[in-house]
Structure formats: structure tokens, C-alpha cells
């Protein structure tokens, strides 16, 4: 019995997701440059030509991963903005967590989120993203970071922004060399330094 259009679409979506996850994990393990689409297909358990069929090229696959990260982060920020009871620091925490570890909700997603973060910090992957002007598509997320710092009453938003971006990029570079590098601990250190400074410098009422 032939599949319905809906069932076929679901199969295609599941196949894309499997290929994407396999690519993320492989590229995080061995680097963007060393990973081939044939290896991705083998890891995903699909026919050798399917990664090219769905994503066009290895660069296309990387851009899809980066785009997915941006969309998940934007959706999480939008949900947070709709929550009237949200802590003013919640958006800042979300952005730092997303950049370092992804938006994890399960052990499996923690692994994948960390792999996405490591991949997006890989120097060779960064070259591909810059060439495709992908960083420009993340400008709104940097604007969100600036707004989050203002909402937390940062006395020095530009300095805090530099501290966070340098800490995140440096941590991801170290994690790419050492899979056991404590990104969660780094997340807490960065946030505590920024938020503690704000608390200390905000006048008491």
C-alpha cells in the first residue's frame, strides 16, 4: 500500500533529522574538514547519496545546522518574552546556554547541543559560515544579548558583551580540543560574574 503524502513527508523529515544529527556528531568528533558526506550517510544509516539529495553539499548541511540553531534560540526567546513572570535574567541565561550547550531538555539533546556548539566554533566551519554571511543572520540574537544585559541593568553592557562572547568562543575552542572541558561550569562562571557585578552596582531601594 503506497504511503499517504503526509506519511511520505514524515519519513523525509525523519531522514533529514537523522542525517543532520549524524553530521553534527561526526563533525564535532573529527572536525568539519575531515568529515565526508559518505561518512555522514554511514553514521545515519541511510543510502550514500541521501545527504547530497537533502542538503546539496557538506556546506549546505552546515548552514542547515546553523539555521536550525538560530531558529530554536529565537523560538525559545519568543516563548520567554511571552512569559510575564520570567526573571529579567532569564533571557541572558538562555542565550549563554544556547551558545555553549544548546537548548537541552534530555541527555540525548545535551550531547547533540554540545556537538552543535562545538561545530559552530570549528575554525574551518566558521570559514564556511562567514563566506555564506551566516553571521549576519545572527545579528538579531546579538541584539537580544544587548537587550538582555540592559534588562539586567548592566552598568557596562559593552564590556559584559565582550566578556560573554570571548568566554563563549574561548570555551568552545577548548571544548573542541577536550571533550571533557566543563562547559556547564563555564556557563555558571560567566553568568555569575556578570550578574554578580550587576547586583553589586545596582543601588538598593
* pLDDT mean across residues, the chain: 86
The pLDDT of residue 108 is: 64
What digits encode the pLDDT tens for the residues 6-63?
A: 888 998 999 999 999 999 889 888 889 999 999 999 999 999 999 999 999 999 999 9
Per-residue pLDDT band for 179 (boundaries 50, 70, 90) equals confident
**Is the model's pLDDT at 1 over the cut of 70?**
no
The pLDDT of residue 106 is: 62
The pLDDT of residue 202 is: 47
Global confidence as pTM = 0.82
Listed residue (55, 62, 205, 194) closest to 128, CA to CA: 62
The pLDDT of residue 203 is: 47
C-alpha distances in angstroms, 178 versus 128, 168, 195? 23, 15, 28
**How much is the average pLDDT of 172-178?**
82
Tell me how far apart the alpha carbons of residues 99 and 173 are, in angstroms, rounded to a whole number.
12
Per-residue pLDDT band for 136 (boundaries 50, 70, 90) equals confident
Amino acid at each position: 500500500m503506497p504511503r499517504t503524502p503526509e506519511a511520505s513527508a514524515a519519513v523525509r523529515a525523519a531522514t533529514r533529522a537523522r542525517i543532520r544529527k549524524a553530521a553534527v556528531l561526526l563533525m564535532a568528533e573529527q572536525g568539519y574538514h575531515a568529515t565526508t558526506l559518505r561518512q555522514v550517510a554511514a553514521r545515519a544509516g541511510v543510502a550514500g547519496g541521501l545527504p547530497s539529495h537533502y542538503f546539496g553539499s557538506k556546506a549546505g548541511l552546515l548552514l542547515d545546522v546553523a539555521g536550525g540553531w538560530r531558529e530554536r534560540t529565537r523560538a525559545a526567546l519568543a516563548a520567554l518574552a511571552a512569559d510575564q513572570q520570567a526573571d529579567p535574567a532569564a533571557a541572558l541565561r538562555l542565550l549563554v546556554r544556547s551558545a555553549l550547550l544548546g537548548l537541552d531538555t534530555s541527555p540525548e539533546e545535551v550531547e547533540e547541543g554540545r556537538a552543535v556548539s562545538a561545530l559552530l566554533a570549528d575554525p574551518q566551519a566558521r570559514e564556511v559560515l562567514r563566506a555564506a554571511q551566516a553571521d549576519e543572520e545572527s545579528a538579531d540574537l546579538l541584539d537580544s544579548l544587548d537587550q538582555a544585559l540592559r534588562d539586567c541593568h548592566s552598568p557596562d553592557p559593552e564590556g559584559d558583551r565582550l566578556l560573554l562572547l570571548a568566554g563563549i568562543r574561548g570555551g568552545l575552542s577548548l571544548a573542541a580540543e577536550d571533550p571533557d572541558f566543563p562547559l556547564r561550569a563555564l556557563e555558571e562562571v560567566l553568568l555569575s560574574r556578570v550578574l554578580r557585578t550587576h547586583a553589586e552596582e545596582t543601588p538598593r531601594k
